[in-house]
Amino acid sequence: MILYPAIDLKNGVCVRLKMGDMDQATEYGEPAEVALKWQQMGAQYLHVVDLDAAFAGEFSNYDTVAKILRTVSIPVQLGGGVRSIEDIDLRLGDLGIRRVIVGTAAIENPELVEEAAAKYSNRIVVGIDAKDGRVATRGWASDTGEDPVSLANEMKKRGIATIIYTDIARDGMLTGPNVAAVKNMVKQTGMEIIASGGMSIPDDVKAVKEAGAQGVIIGKALYTGSINLSEAIKMGA
């Protein structure tokens, strides 16, 4: 299982939010420096989200992401504000991101996902963010009423192999992951599931692995020190 340290970007700074609330942001410094720290502690992959792009659609953190890529040698997956094939081309081509995460567009424009998957294959990942069992979009501000498992299976039909499944209510809260939901997603879709939201202690890594997840994203727990990345990597191996 791969552990993905999370780096969320807001106005060029690394931040962590509570349940996706942009007004509850805690700053954690210069993103490239943070990225290098996680790499030095053994990270194999980084999970970066452009929060400004997720809410506004404009890729204002381009230079910040580019600096991260120049600083580390490990691959990076990037989400936030991906609305068109041109957005994907920019990130995978010009910028050099390893994988792009499509979120809102998976609901609003599933044909884009199919086009991107045909063009880039496994470099396209779909992010499904859920609260109370329903998919949320537009930076988690819009409740679609869509069932997460149904959406995942629709994305599978359109050529997607990997889903990042986030429990919004647990994100940034250090309350533990929604293991039952992760297990259900794995069982009902047969896809590669990367779990996100609520990781708080090392045992959470073990629990998510046992639920069948192929990866786990860890954010606030790394920044507060409640999970040591090097130790967590050993637990997930």
CA distance 218 to 197: 8
52 is catalytic: no
Please tell me whether residue 199 adopts helix, strand or coil conformation. coil
1: Cα separation from own chain's centroid: 15
Q: Please report which helix (H) or strand (E) contains residue 22, including its range.
A: strand 21-27
Q: Select which of 50, 52, 129, 167 is catalytic.
A: 129
23 is catalytic: no
Long-range contacts of range 219-222, CB-CB < 8 Å, 24 or more positions apart? 219/5, 219/6, 219/8, 219/16, 219/171, 219/172, 220/16, 220/172, 220/173, 220/174, 221/174, 222/5, 222/6, 222/38
DSSP helix, strand, coil percent of the chain (3-state; round to 5): 45, 25, 30
Catalytic residues: 8, 129
